[in-house]
Each structure stands twice: as C-alpha cells, then as structure tokens.
Amino acid sequence: MKGRVLIVAGSDSGGGAGIQADIKTVTALGGFAMTAITALTAQNTLGVTAIHEVPPDFVAEQMRVVLRDLGADAVKLGMLHSPQIIDVVRETLDAEAPDVPLVVDPVMVAKGGAKLLRDDAMAALKEKMIPGAAVITPNLPEAEVLCGQTADDRESFRRLGTALTRLGAGAVLLKGGHLPGDTVVDLLLAGEGPPLVFEDTRIESRHTHGTGCTLASAVATGIAQGIPLRQAVTRARAYVRQAMMTAPGLGQGHGPLNHAHTVRPFGG
C-alpha cells in the first residue's frame, strides 16, 4: 500500500490542528497515518493554555519503531518546538528514512498567538530541516521570519517566495491567506521556472483552526501516494477549502474544519 505518512508533530487536545488534524486528513484522503508526538498541548478554539514537551529520546523511539516495522512513503513535520527535538528528528530521519520525501510545515505560532517554536530553535529548523525537504509550506508570517523580509502585496509576496527557494528545499508552497484582499493567492515554486499561482475567492469564516496543518498533511498524502507535486497541491487546496466551507461550527474562537467531508457515513 502506498500512502503511508509518518507525522512528527504536536498534539492538539481540541482536535482541530496538530496530530489530530493530520490523522484525519491523511485518512480522509485515503492514506495511512502514523505518528510521533513531539509535544502535548492543552488548547481549544480560544487558544493554547499549556505545552508539555515530550522527551527527545522518546520522540526518536516513536519514529524508529514505526519506520522499522510499517515504513513510510512520506514524512510530514509539524510542531517541533525545541532545538533538542529538531536534533533527534533529523538524526532519526537520516538513520531510518534517508530517502523518504519530507514535507516541512514550519509551525511557529498557534492561531490564538501561542508560540509553538522556541526562539532558540529557529536556526536549527533552517539548518537541519528545510534543506533537502521535498516541499516546505510556510504561511506569510512564517516565511517572513524564515527570510528576514516582509511582504504586503503580490510583488513583494513573489519576491519572498523566491527568497524561500534559496533555503534549500526542493519546492516551496507559500500560502498567502494573510495578504489583504478578497482573493487568496498561494505560490508553488519548484525548479527554475516561474511560480505556479493558485487563486481562489477568500472564504470569510472564523473556522480556520488547523488549516496549515491540514494543507501540509494533504500534500504529504499526495506525495506518499505517488501523485505529482502540482496535482497533490491542487487536491490539497480543494480539500481544505471544502473542509472550511462545511466546518461544523464548533467552539467560541477559531473553529475546526470538517476533515471528514470526503467520508461517507457508515451505513449511509
């Protein structure tokens, strides 16, 4: 079976983002999800109230036992939190899955504003995880931090995408949801050619919790299933948009998506 995705990320107790969103997404798109949890968070749609980091050695052990038995067709990285976690994840990938495509979602801040990547971990993320990744999926604020430059219109957004390609990943999916305007623009930069531009009408909704995790996991699932990157991104974006438009309306803050919109109810 192709479509095995090992997710290395943090847990969201509210079920909208992190490991929980990743598992739902991979499953809904026909893949098989496995996990190595890097941190436990206490959170809901209003924000993160506490973070408990998993010991680095135990993160590595979760990865090792999964990779040695079940294998993986893609690895998706989400919340890594600390330099120590980044170090052991890199070492374990090099030892156990050196040729498995890596999708890096450089998670830095939760939707409610809590920091999910420590300040002292930024250099390690840029040095050890981004170079050689099959694709990275930053949103605009994350891209600005990674490159040390800002973007507030389409031209500067495109320049930011070009700057991201110099960090060493095989491809960059730069998400433009934070840019102003009624149209959302994402860029896929891969190789030497011009970026592929995706445009959609903005969905006005407070139910946006976990959109980044969900998109990255959907892309990783496509890669794991052998789908070319462009088609994997196209499918992933369509999946996320439908999940937003059919969101269940839960919570008082940034609500979760409807990850199960592809799934027919049992017996239905």
Q: What is the pLDDT of residues 183-194, one digit of tens each?
A: 999 999 998 778
Q: Is 49 a catalytic residue?
A: no
What is the four-CA torsion angle of 164, 132, 33, 229, rounded to 10 degrees? Answer: 60
Helix (H, G, I), strand (E, B) or coil at 27: helix
CA 90/CA 48 separation, integer angstroms? 27
Q: What is the pLDDT of residue 1?
A: 64
Quickly state the pLDDT bin for 239 (edges 50, 70, 90): very high
Catalytic residue among 16, 24, 76, 213: 213
pLDDT of 119 higher than 90: no
Q: Is 213 a catalytic residue?
A: yes
Nearest-5° Cα angle at 210, 94 to 170: 35
Q: Is 211 a catalytic residue?
A: yes
Catalytic residue among 35, 92, 165, 208: 208
Q: Is 262 a catalytic residue?
A: no
Catalytic residue among 92, 137, 165, 211: 211
As a three-state string, the secondary structure of 39-81 is EEEEEECCEEEEEEECCHHHHHHHHHHHHHHCCCCEEEECCCE
Q: Is 175 a catalytic residue?
A: yes
Catalytic residue among 210, 222, 251, 255: 210
CA 193/CA 3 separation, integer angstroms? 28
Q: What is the pLDDT of residues 64-102, one digit of tens each?
A: 999 999 999 999 999 998 999 999 999 999 999 999 999
Catalytic residue among 18, 41, 175, 255: 175
Report the percent of the chain where pLDDT is more than 90: 81
Q: Chain-wide mean pLDDT for the chain?
A: 93
Which one has a higher pLDDT value, 122 or 267? Answer: 122
Catalytic residue among 212, 222, 251, 255: 212
Report the percent of the chain where pLDDT is more than 70: 97
Give whichever of 112-126, 153-167, 216-230 has the largest mean pLDDT: 216-230
Burial 142-157 (b: 16+ CB within 10 A, else e): bbbbbbeeebeeeeeb
Q: Is 201 a catalytic residue?
A: no
